[in-house]
Amino acid sequence: MMDWTDRHCRYFHRLLAPSALLYTEMVTTGAIIHGDADRFLAYNLEEQPVALQLGGSDPEDLAACARIAEKRGYDEINLNVGCPSDRVQRGRFGACLMLEPELVKDCMSAMIDAVDIPITIKTRLGVDDHYSYQYMSDFVGRVAESGCEVFIMHARKALLAGLSPKQNRDIPPLHYDWVYRLKEESPDFQVVINGGIGSVDEVNSHLEHVDGVMLGRAAYHTPWLLAECQQQLFENQILETREDVIEPMTMYLERQVKNGVAVKHISRHLLGLFQGLPGAKAWRRYLSENAYRDDNNIDLLNQALAAMKKAAGKSHSIESMPL
C-alpha cells in the first residue's frame, strides 16, 4: 500500500486497534540505502508493534536494510512478493519474483541470517500462467527452506501484463480454499490470509482455518472496521465511538504541525472514518475542500465534525454503529 499506510495513517490505525500488528507501506531497498532513510523509516513509538515491508531482490541489499530496520526498533521485516505494478516489475521485485523461487529463498535466507527479528513474506497464489495450487505450494516450500515460517497469502494470482494494480486487486478470482489447504498441509507454518476481506464476520470465518488475517484497503477506506475487530477479537476496545478519535488525532495534528508537517498529510487518512453514518459525505467534503487551505489548521477535524453534524441534522454526539 505504497503512499497509503505512512506513519500518520499508522498512528491513526493504532488508536483504533491497539492489538493489531501494523505494516508500513512497501519501501524499496534503494530508497533506504541510497535515499533518505530517515524519511522512509520514521515511525511513531505508539505504532509498535510495527513491521517494515521491503521491496527488493538483492540478498545483500535486503540484509543491509534488515539490519538498519532492526536497529531502528522495527518488530518484523516483511518481503513483498505480491505487488504487480509495472514500476515494481521494472525494479525486479514484487509479484514477478514468484517466477524466481530460488532467488526469493536466497533473499529470505540473507535477512534471516542478518537479524534476530522475524522475517516474513507476503505473496500471491501465482502469476500469469504459473498458477495452480501445486505451483503455489512448491513456491512456499522452496521459500520455507530459508527458515521462513510466516506466509501472508494474498488469495489471488497476479497478472503482470494487461491489468492495472487496481484491477489486479479485483479481477483475478479469490481462492481462499487454497490458503486453507496450505495451512492444513503445513500446520507448522503460520499462515495469514489477505484479499477481499471487508467485515468482522469474514475475519472470524477465516480464523477458523488460518492463523491470522491481514486487512488492507478495507481498513483504509472503512477504518472503523479496525475498531470492530479490536472489540470482537480482543474485547478491549479503547474507543467507544468514532467521535472519540477526534481529540487524540487533533492532539497528534498539533504535535506534527509544530514539526513542520502539513495538516493535509494527516487528515487525508481520516476521510473514511464516518463511512456509513449520516453526514459522512459532509465530513469527507469538508476535509477534502479545506485541508489544503491552511497547512497549520489544527482544528480541522473539529470543524469537519461540526459540518457533519449540521448536515446530519444533529447537535449531539454521533455514535458509532453497533459493534
Q: Which residues are catalytic?
A: 83
- Yes or no: say if 28 and 91 are a contact pair by the CB < 8 Å rule: yes
Q: Which of 237, 245, 241, 253 is nearest to 300 (CA)?
A: 253
- Yes or no: say if 151 and 121 are a contact pair by the CB < 8 Å rule: yes
Q: Rounded to an integer, what distance in angstroms lies between the CA atom of residue 109 and that of residue 40?
A: 24
Give whole-number Cα distances, 225 to 9, 11, 215, in Å.
14, 16, 9
In 3-state terms, the chain is what percent helix, strand and coil (to 5)?
50, 10, 40
Angle 300-312/246-258 helices, nearest 10 degrees? 150
167: alpha, beta or left? (left if phi > 0; alpha if psi -120 to 50): alpha
Q: Indicate if the alpha-carbon torsion angle 62, 63, 66, 71 is positive or negative.
A: negative
Q: Rounded to an integer, what distance in angstroms lies between the CA atom of residue 49 and that of residue 87?
A: 29
Q: Which of 261, 272, 267, 273 is nearest to 300 (CA)?
A: 267
* Cell numbers given for 271: 476521510
Kind of pairing between the strands at 27-28 and 190-194:
unpaired
Q: Rounded to an integer, what distance in angstroms lies between the CA atom of residue 304 and that of residue 291?
A: 10
Q: Which 3 state secondary structure label does DSSP give 49?
A: coil
Q: Indicate if the alpha-carbon torsion angle 77, 81, 86, 90 is positive or negative.
A: positive
Q: Rounded to an integer, what distance in angstroms lies between the CA atom of residue 1 and that of residue 4?
A: 5
